[in-house]
Amino acid sequence: MQPDDSAQGAAPHWRALEALYASAPINRLFDSSLEIIGEGRSRITFTVDERYHHAAGASHGTIYFKMLDDAAFYAANTLVTDRFLLTTSFNLHFTKPVKAGEVVAEGRWVSGRRRVFVAEARLVDAEGDEIGRGTGTFMRSRIPLSGLPGYTDKAV
Find out if CATH 3.10.129.10 is the number for domain 7-147.
yes
pLDDT at 7: 57
Cα 23 to chain centroid, rounded: 14
State pTM to two decimals: 0.91
Cα 7 to chain centroid, rounded: 19
Report the candidate in 106, 138, 147, 151 with the shortest Cα–Cα distance to residue 125: 106
- Which sequence spans correspond to the domains of the chain? 7-147
pLDDT at 54 over 50: yes
Query: Where do runs of H (alpha helix) occur along 24-93?
Result: 61-77
Q: What is the mean pLDDT of the chain?
A: 92
pLDDT at 1: 37
pLDDT at 10 over 50: yes
Average pLDDT score over residue span 132-144: 97
Q: What residues have CB less than 8 Å from 109, skipping those under 6 apart?
A: 39, 40, 41, 75, 76, 78, 79, 117, 118, 119
